[in-house]
Structures are given as C-alpha cells and as structure tokens.
A and B are shown apart, each in its own frame.
Chain A
Amino acid sequence: MTNPKKTKENPCEKYELAITNYVMGEVIKIPESELFSHLAGCLSCQADMRNWRASYATMRAREYDARPGVRQKMKAFIKGLVYQNKTAGKTPIDTKWEIGSAAGKIYDLLKTNGEMSIPRLMQKTGLKEYHIQQAIGWLAREEKVALSRDGQTAYAQLPSGA
C-alpha cells in the first residue's frame, strides 16, 4: 500500500477528508460546526458530499444484497407479492375457520409488532388480501382492532388497553 500523502494544492482537502469520514459515521477531526459552516458556502464540497453519499450508499446496498440469504429472501418476497393473487375457480369458504384463524394470526402479529399497514400484514402473514380484509372486519366488529388511514394506505393496531 502506498503511503497517502497530503496534497497541498487543494484548499478544501481537510473538509473533503472530513466529509469522507462523516458520511461513514466516523469521528472527524474538525468540529462539525466548522464543517457545516464551510459546506454552507462551498458548492464544490456540497457536490462532493452528495457524490460520496450516493457512491457509499450504492456500495453498501450492493454489499448488503450480496450477503448470503439476503438476495434469496428478497427474491422470495417479490415472488410472493407478484404471484399471491393467482387463484382460480370458486370454492366455498369455511367462514369460521378461515376468517377466524386469519383474525387470530393478525391479532397476534399486531400484539407483537404494534401498528402495521395492510400490505405489511399481507406480507408478514402470507395471507391473501381478501383474507386480511375479512379478518380485519371480523376483529373490528369485536372491537379488537383500531384502524387509521394515511393517504391511500390503511393501518391497523390493537386498540389502547387491549
């Protein structure tokens, strides 16, 4: 490894060095306030910070996804999303068993994790959307779930005191 040498011509060098380490969550050798004062007035260092944040994030994401198991988990998640609604034919529903057991699963999950979005519940339980909706209706009727909405996404949680 060659010995890193200081480049004297670059007036922003100490700030670029600080930016490199700051973005990685490491300790920097100048006060943060000094770094940000400099950043506020230096377009070149602002661009440097954006560039390094993007490069570092891209490297970390690729490294994370290359870990054993992560990629397979993600592929399984995507397959589950895309193909879960491919059912055909009509079969009678055993309401009490099918909806009741789905409601039980959802109740347990909300108890453990707190508030969750409907798509998240689908993913975590592996249940189909209509099962989730039916089960939530069941729980709501028994006042065992509180629902809220943020934009187009609905969230479910156990009512306070449950």
Chain B
Amino acid sequence: MVRDEWYNQDMGEDPRSDEDLVSACLGGDKSVLEILLTRYSTIILSYLLGLSLFTRDEAYLDDLRQEVLLIIWTKLRDGLFMPAGPGSFKRWVYKIAYFEALKQDKRRGKRAKPLSEVFPEEPTGIPDDLLIDLAPRVSDYEEAELKLPEMLSRLSEEEQRLMRLVSEGKPYKEIQQDPSFSRYSLDYLMRKVYIIRQRMRGKEDK
C-alpha cells in the first residue's frame, strides 16, 4: 500500500525551536514536553536503528525508544537540562539515546564483538574499533532527515515502491513476492537498490 505521508511526516508541528520549548518547560509550561517528545520520537528511532547495524528487531528498538523518551521526560521534568545554544538539545538527546542503547545492549548480552574475534583465522590488519568508527555521525542523520524527501523525489514511482519495501525491512526474497518485482532476480534487485542509492545521492543521472 502506498502511503503518501511516508517520507513527509508531521514531526511535531510547532514553529518554536527546541531550545525555546525547553525554556518554556523550565518556566513551568509542562505541556511543551508533549511537543518536544513527539518531535523527537521518530528521530530517536532512526538513531537507534542506525546504531544497531541491520537489526530487524524493531520491537526491541521501539521499547528502547520508549526508555529514551522516559529518560528525557524525567530529566526535563526535573530541570536537569539547560539549553546551551542552538542544537544543544538535539545533541543532548542523541547522547542519551547512545548511552541507553549501549546500556541495554550490554544488559541483553548484545555487545558487538571486536573484529579480531569475527575473523580470528585471518589477521587482516583491520582495527578492532573500525565498526564503532563506521557508525553514522550526528551530521549524517541530520543530512538524511533534511534531504530524504528531495532524494526520494528523484526516483520513479516503481523505484519509490521498491525503496518503500526496503524501508519496511523486507529482505529481497520477500520483495520478490511482490507482483511488481517478481520478474527480477536477486542479483538484479541488489544492483538496482545500489543504483537507486547512487541516484538519491545525485551521483548518477536518471
């Protein structure tokens, strides 16, 4: 089913900046907390998904998002965050999400292995912390949030439908069950998604 609001969702309509809302909250207006938490709800989930490389366990990440929102709400309610310039609230939110994700992964025994343990028989010279270093930066998420609607608008209707199925976390084998894509081989789909990515980034002309 095509959903028009897919990449253009209402992320908490309010013209005020995060820092203005936090100031209003510190001034006693607790209702702005609802606006702030709604605004960050999807952003936090994106961040957690980006940290947890290729997880399909969305229920776990949804629970984790609720934990993060709870922490933010508790700290804001208790006045434990003071805005320090533009963007400070967002950075603070990402930091909370990062540490909560680490903590919960540790509690669930989901810690990432060092690469030397993944490839014990092959001394490849790969630094152990490479996977950590390959986690997206805050600026990568900001760029994705900002540019995604425009990047997707460069695609044909069929390509958009393919990317929507990909975004649902569906593996290629399931995507092939869709009547629109059943005629394509796995290899073709793998390559097609890559080409679409290039087009989204403006690296290849239509």
Contact = CB atoms under 8 A, between A and B. Distances in A.
Interface in B26-58: 30-31, 33-34, 37-38, 41-43, 45-50, 53-56, 58
B204 A57 contact: no
A54 to B, nearest CB: 4
A4 B122 contact: no
B125 A37 contact: yes
Given A4-B194, A24-B166, A53-B53, A81 B73 contact: yes
B2 to A, nearest CB: 11
B137 A50 contact: yes
B190 A120 contact: no
B159 interface: yes
Interface stretch (A61-69, A92-100, A132-140): A61-69
Interface size class of B (residues with CB under 8 A): 35 or more
A23 B122 CA distance: 22
Given A40-B125, A75-B38, A66 B6 contact: yes
Contacts of B117: none
Interface string A61-88: 1111110001000110111011101000
Contact of A61 (B5, B46, B140, B194): B46
B84 interface: no
Contacts of A4: 188, 191-192, 194-195
Contacts of A21: 190, 193-194
A63 B67 contact: no
Contacts of A64: 45, 58, 62
A79 B34 contact: yes
Contacts of A52: 197
A16 B133 CA distance: 17
Nearest to B201: A51
A150 interface: yes
Interface in A121-154: 122-123, 150, 153
Given A33-B122, A66-B6, A119-B67, A57 B49 contact: yes
Contacts of B194: 4, 16-17, 20-21
B38 to A, nearest CB: 6
B79 interface: no
B66 A60 contact: no
Contacts of B83: none
B74 A119 contact: yes
A160 interface: no
The 6 closest A-B pairs by CB, nearest first: A25-B54, A57-B50, A54-B140, A57-B49, A54-B136, A61-B46
Interface of A: 1, 4, 7, 16-17, 20-26, 32-33, 36-37, 39-40, 46, 49-66, 70, 74-75, 77-79, 81-83, 85, 117, 119-120, 122-123, 150, 153
21 contacts: A1-B184, A1-B192, A4-B191, A17-B190, A33-B122, A36-B115, A39-B126, A50-B135, A51-B201, A54-B140, A55-B140, A56-B167, A57-B49, A57-B136, A59-B166, A60-B167, A66-B5, A79-B34, A120-B66, A120-B67, A123-B66
